[in-house]
């Protein structure tokens, strides 16, 4: 059973979360380094917990995502940063740019969203997942065999949006314009 690749937005969140965690967690940094130097190795296999019944998919309206992406661009220049080819820049230059992007994007998250951890325990804690745990909030990895309860180590606390305070817009506002072109006269 294969799973669809995460969306660009989800991959961006994963990248920023991983970037921060690499500096805080030497073991995680070692695992990432091993993944990036072992390009020929097959990806790790994660066994599914249980086959899920087919659920009809709903189409997500892009408005809120485009609005949030526009805010991240306006305050943190996130789209500019991600579209920049950073291969020719030094680590110090990338780090300085990342600091600016981080500060602006963090300001957007703090102003427009209340984000809380999915789990309250510190990372590295041993936890038990009971039968019927919320699989949309908790993703078991590694050797998932049998039926819950499962006991394992909390690798990431997860994040959930507790409150959203996105601004209201006029009906004429085109959300597809993430940043207007600038013309100096």
Q: Does the pTM exceed 0.85?
A: no
Note the pLDDT tens digit of each residue in 128-156: 999 999 999 999 999 888 899 999 999 99
Q: For residue 177, give the nearest of 101, 73, 51, 100 by alpha carbon.
A: 73
Can you give the pLDDT at residue 27?
75
14 lies in some domain: yes
The total of structural domains in the chain comes to 1
Give strand pairing partners of 115.
Answer: 161
Query: How far is residue 98's CA from residue 142's CA, in Å, rounded to a whole number?
Result: 32
Give strand pairing partners of 129.
Answer: 150
The C-alpha torsion from 109 through 160 and 136 to 20, rounded to 10°, is: 60
Residue span of the structural domain in which 21 resides: 8-45
112 lies in some domain: no
16 lies in some domain: yes
30 lies in some domain: yes
150 lies in some domain: no
């Amino acid at each position: 059973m294969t799973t669809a690749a995460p969306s660009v937005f989800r991959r961006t969140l994963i990248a920023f979360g991983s970037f921060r965690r690499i500096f805080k967690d030497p073991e995680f940094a070692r695992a990432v380094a091993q993944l990036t130097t072992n390009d020929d190795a097959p990806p790790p296999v994660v066994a599914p917990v249980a086959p899920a019944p087919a659920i009809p998919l709903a189409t997500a309206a892009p408005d809120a995502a485009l609005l949030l992406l526009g805010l991240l661009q306006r305050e943190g220049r996130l789209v500019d940063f991600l579209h920049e080819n950073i291969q020719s820049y030094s680590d110090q230059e990338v780090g300085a740019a990342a600091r600016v992007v981080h500060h602006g994007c963090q300001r957007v998250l703090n102003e427009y969203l209340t984000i809380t951890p999915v789990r309250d325990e510190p990372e590295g804690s041993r936890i038990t997942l009971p039968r019927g745990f919320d699989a949309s909030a908790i993703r078991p990895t590694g050797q998932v065999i049998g039926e819950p309860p499962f006991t394992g180590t909390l690798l990431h606390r997860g994040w959930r949006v507790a409150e959203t305070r996105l601004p209201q817009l006029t009906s004429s506002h085109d959300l597809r314009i993430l940043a207007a072109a600038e013309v100096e006269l």
